[in-house]
A and B are shown apart, each in its own frame.
Chain A
């Protein structure tokens, strides 16, 4: 059908291809104007801030840069950030897998509401995500008196920072997995089970290999956000130097003390993490496409 039809169009309109092209796209000037404005906008808003971080970080050379990173307070902030991110990512990874399994492989009423609720932390201000834990566990909070009585500390300590980070990064793994697993349907799992595989075998040998790249990307995104979370952590941390300061909070303190170079030096590590996450996204997407 398509062959003769095209031939017909070409016979009727000898210069059909050029006419078609102009019907489907804009004039050269408009095209380059749109591309030019887009690139300028992206350059100003995305590229320049990123470049600024590294230029400022190395503004006094490599020696002071390394000095700022090996400062004891910086080291302890880096260590705390790594601990918090590790705990939060593992918790949200497990949650993401469990939630995606129940949502993608089964039908039940209220499913779309459940997905909306999982996405909820995306639309809540990070400051509120921190505030809610202060209201629960702070000195004046619902459980505040009980915690003081039992000599337990959540707010202004590691558990509070972890809780706030877990809330903020809650949807990351789940939302990468759910649409993909819904698209893949249940046939492969049903086949595995009818061939005698157990539920866990099916999960590890059938489901997991199918979603591994999306899962990895979800984990990386979750990790980037966990390490970089500022608003929620700022509210629950108390900014105790060397104790409850994460990297973003340390950046804030240095910046407010006009130690700009040191502030940007710590920031450059997080910027590097962001770059690695972006590159990983491109690479993982390519893997996923080549496997299809």
Chain B
């Protein structure tokens, strides 16, 4: 990268850098072989494994008339399942936003015994298979479980209620906020905090007016990633959810149920709604990451 920048700089000494120069530089860089074949293989494999199968989903939906599609998606059970999935995912991502920010802050800014170990276990939800997490959380939060036993005298039931779904979604989303926040906090220049303090800001003012705006995009990125993951989550939820239609039945489970009933159109229509939603979230994440990069490069 820097060599290219230098080359451009050197040339502009003698004359203005033209597009021809840039093209020459680009051509000079492609002394490395294999561009055509690697890009070709990448695109082919991407098309075969990802794009064509996902495209098939839309093709299948096209067999439905718009009114058929609409009546499936807005049917009571489907609508409730979508509401449960999106609503609880939003709440879970918000919980993770708060606790993820705390954990990320503690890991980057403070020293305490066992910090390295704590940092390592953050990734447990990435590495632990969802079915394993599902049965473990269910056992933990069942009425005779370690945590369920503590909560049930207070009248709080977790397992087999929507609250159980929330617990599972918090579990799987936790690392996203911590892992997107951490690098931004590490790169944060403490000099600007000192400057703020020198200028008379209290610590609380420094955090809310100086640090928060810089880390906000990365926090929101983590939030969006956790949300996206939670919306589609299946394995860790179905054991603890209770799976009562209209109450604790998530959309991915309804897709599986419709599929097992051979109602392919129903399954596909719900899947398309979820897929479109994840496209929107993905687009939002992209924009957030660009925003985050701009914020941190300015600071």
Binding site for B on A (CB under 8 A): 20, 22-27, 31, 34-35, 37-39, 41-42, 44-50, 52-53, 56, 95, 98-99, 101-103, 105-108, 112, 114, 116-128, 131-136, 138, 140, 142, 163, 166-167, 170, 185-187, 189-190, 193-194, 198-199, 202-203, 221, 224, 227-231, 234-235, 247-249, 251-252, 255, 260, 263-264, 267, 270-271, 273-275, 277-279, 281-282
With A38-B106, A123-B278 already in contact, the answer to whether A46 and B124 are too (CB < 8 A) is: yes
Alpha-carbon distance A34/B59, docked complex (angstroms): 51
Chain A residues with CB under 8 Å of B107's CB are 38
Chain A residues with CB under 8 Å of B206's CB are 23
Partner of A123, one of B127, B137, B203, B228: B228
Chain A residues with CB under 8 Å of B234's CB are 125-127, 230-231, 234
Chain B residues with CB under 8 Å of A118's CB are 46, 50
Whether a CB of chain A sits under 8 angstroms from the CB of B42 is: yes
Partner of B128, one of A34, A95, A189, A270: A270
Whether a CB of chain A sits under 8 angstroms from the CB of B139 is: yes
Q: Are A124 and B275 in contact (CB under 8 A)?
A: yes
Alpha-carbon distance A22/B194, docked complex (angstroms): 10
Nearest Cβ distance between residue B131 and chain A, in whole angstroms? 4
Whether a CB of chain A sits under 8 angstroms from the CB of B140 is: yes
Within 8 A of A (CB), among B174-199: 174, 190, 193-194, 197-198
Task: Give the most central of A46, A134, A194: most B CB within 10 Å.
Answer: A46
Q: Are A267 and B106 in contact (CB under 8 A)?
A: no
Alpha-carbon distance A95/B121, docked complex (angstroms): 29
Q: Are B34 and A45 in contact (CB under 8 A)?
A: no
Nearest Cβ distance between residue A115 and chain B, in whole angstroms? 10
Q: Are A42 and B118 in contact (CB under 8 A)?
A: yes
Q: Are B42 and A190 in contact (CB under 8 A)?
A: no
Alpha-carbon distance A260/B206, docked complex (angstroms): 52
With A34-B110, A35-B110, A127-B252 already in contact, the answer to whether A248 and B38 are too (CB < 8 A) is: no
Q: Are A99 and B102 in contact (CB under 8 A)?
A: no
Given A50-B136, A132-B57, A267-B136: 11 more A-B contacts, CB < 8 Å: A23-B193, A35-B106, A48-B146, A52-B145, A56-B136, A105-B35, A114-B46, A120-B54, A126-B130, A199-B33, A260-B135
Alpha-carbon distance A264/B145, docked complex (angstroms): 15
Q: Are B194 and A24 in contact (CB under 8 A)?
A: yes
Alpha-carbon distance A252/B132, docked complex (angstroms): 9
Partner of B102, one of A38, A186, A198: A38
Binding site for A on B (CB under 8 A): 1, 3, 26, 29-35, 38-39, 41-43, 45-46, 49-54, 56-57, 59-60, 99, 102-103, 105-107, 109-110, 112, 116, 118, 120-133, 135-137, 139-140, 145-147, 167, 170-171, 174, 190, 193-194, 197-198, 203, 206, 228-229, 231-235, 239, 252-253, 255-256, 259, 262, 264, 267-268, 271, 274-275, 278, 281-282, 285-286
Alpha-carbon distance A13/B107, docked complex (angstroms): 31
Q: Are B102 and A37 in contact (CB under 8 A)?
A: yes
With A24-B190, A42-B121 already in contact, the answer to whether A114 and B49 are too (CB < 8 A) is: no
B127 to chain A: closest residue by CB: A274
Alpha-carbon distance A250/B1, docked complex (angstroms): 51
Nearest Cβ distance between residue A88 and chain B, in whole angstroms? 11
Q: Are A128 and B271 in contact (CB under 8 A)?
A: yes
Q: Are A125 and B102 in contact (CB under 8 A)?
A: no
Chain B residues with CB under 8 Å of A41's CB are 99, 102-103
B99 to chain A: closest residue by CB: A41
Partner of B121, one of A46, A134, A199: A46
Q: Are A31 and B46 in contact (CB under 8 A)?
A: no
Q: Are A125 and B231 in contact (CB under 8 A)?
A: yes
Alpha-carbon distance A202/B33, docked complex (angstroms): 10
Q: Name 25 interchain pairs, CB-CB below 8 A, sorted by A.
A: A22-B203, A25-B203, A26-B203, A37-B99, A38-B118, A49-B140, A52-B139, A98-B45, A102-B39, A102-B42, A106-B35, A120-B50, A125-B233, A126-B235, A131-B268, A163-B49, A199-B33, A224-B129, A231-B130, A248-B235, A264-B135, A264-B139, A271-B132, A274-B132, A277-B127
Q: Are A127 and B256 in contact (CB under 8 A)?
A: yes
Nearest Cβ distance between residue B39 and chain A, in whole angstroms? 4
Partner of A45, one of B53, B60, B174, B286: B174
Chain B residues with CB under 8 Å of A95's CB are 41-42, 45
Q: Are B136 and A281 in contact (CB under 8 A)?
A: no
Alpha-carbon distance A132/B140, docked complex (angstroms): 34
Q: Are B30 and A24 in contact (CB under 8 A)?
A: no
Nearest Cβ distance between residue B31 and chain A, in whole angstroms? 5
Q: Are B42 and A98 in contact (CB under 8 A)?
A: yes
Q: Are B106 and A131 in contact (CB under 8 A)?
A: no
Nearest Cβ distance between residue A102 and chain B, in whole angstroms? 4
With A45-B170, A125-B231, A132-B53 already in contact, the answer to whether A251 and B131 are too (CB < 8 A) is: yes
Q: What 3 pairs across the A-B complex have the smallest Cβ distances? A: A228-B129, A125-B232, A23-B197
